[in-house]
Amino acid sequence: YMNIKDQYKCLVSSKQASFVNSMSMVFSQGYLANAIEVIAKQSNSTIKVTEIGCYNARLMNFLIQRKVVVSYTGVDIRKEYLDESELIDHPHVTLLNEDAIHYLSIPKESQDVVVSSEVLEHIDEVDLKDLLTNMVTLLAPGGTLITSFPENTDQCVFHIVSNETDMGHVNFPVYPEYIYLVEGLGMKLISYDSGFTVRSSYVPPDLISSSKEYKKIYRMLGHRMALAYAMTIDEGHTGGGYYTFRKEEV
């Protein structure tokens, strides 16, 4: 007999994706793909996109499926992830096995968009500024930086590191401090959107949890999907967020 906790450990340690992680991917990758598509449509030429912590370049795969044409560079510190990519030989894809904290071989000010999704929570606080500096350096003036990660605010702790070490989380940037850090690198915050995150302590406000939409999603798809819906439409903070910055033109 295997209890629920043992079953959960078995599942998350296997090669099969867990349900909640798959949900997180849908929301975060969907957000990035949509944002890049909007920027691509506004450009008169093929935009250059770099993704830091790209895994197996699945974001580019989603863009291809949506018929969004970009020149994509994916960077990941784990070579085995890149080796699994189906896009290794794609003419518009470059995959780099590099440690973005210390070095990036991509030419400075060459990229229109730099994105990083669910990566910064895996970066030690002492290394965060170096990583962001390297990311910002890649952007041409007027370029866009999009980052998403589980977060805390100066008023609410949604995440505690000791509770999420099994996910490799070591740091949860704090909302105002993160904005201050990135804007200090020559960026300007354009927008912030709350978003779904796996282990946030977020509780939906009564206004949302009592809505017919929330109740229907809960009934049809369960608590996790209803929670993801609530986090997505909440205008406040949910313990996860999407930040869009623009590089100021000198």
DSSP 8-state assignment for residue 122: G
Q: Using pLDDT thresholds of 50, 70 and 90, give the confidence band for residue 9.
A: low
Distance CA 51, CA 117 (A): 8
Q: Pairing mode, if any, of strands 139-150 and 93-96? A: unpaired
**Closest to 54 measured CA to CA, from 35, 28, 34:** 28
Give per-residue pLDDT as tens, 45-80.
Answer: 999 999 999 999 999 999 999 999 999 999 999 999
Of 100, 78, 96, nearest in space to 88 by CA:
96
Give the whole-angstrom CA distance, residue 4 versus residue 194: 31
Single-letter residue type at 195: G
Calpha distance 166→83 (Å, rounded): 24
Ranking 2-11, 187-196, 224-233, 235-244 by mean pLDDT, the lowest is 2-11
Q: Tokens in use for 183?
A: 């804007």
Residue 127 in this model has a pLDDT that exceeds 60: yes
Q: What token pair was written down for 34?
A: 């949509």
Other beta carbons within 10 Å of 184 = 11
What is the structure's pLDDT at 25? 81
Backbone angles phi, psi at 197, to 5 degrees: -140, 145
The two structure tokens encoding residue 143: 């370029």
Q: How far is CA 50 from CA 4, 72, 92, 134, 190, in A?
A: 40, 6, 12, 12, 19
Mean pLDDT over 113-124 rounds to 96
What DSSP line would sit under 113-137, residue for residue?
EEEEES-GGGS-HHHHHHHHHHHHH
User: pLDDT tens digits, residue range 208-222?
Assistant: 999 999 999 999 999
Q: What is the DSSP letter of 120?
A: G
- Predicted confidence band of residue 140 (pLDDT cuts 50, 70, 90): very high
Residue 70 · residue 49 · CB < 8 Å = yes
Quick count: other Cβ atoms within 10 Å of Cβ 36? Answer: 26
- Burial profile 46-80: b = 16 or more Cβ within 10 angstroms, e = fewer: ebbbbbbbbbbbbbbbbbbeeebebbbbbbbbeee
Task: Report the C-alpha gap between 112 and 115 in whole angstroms.
Answer: 10
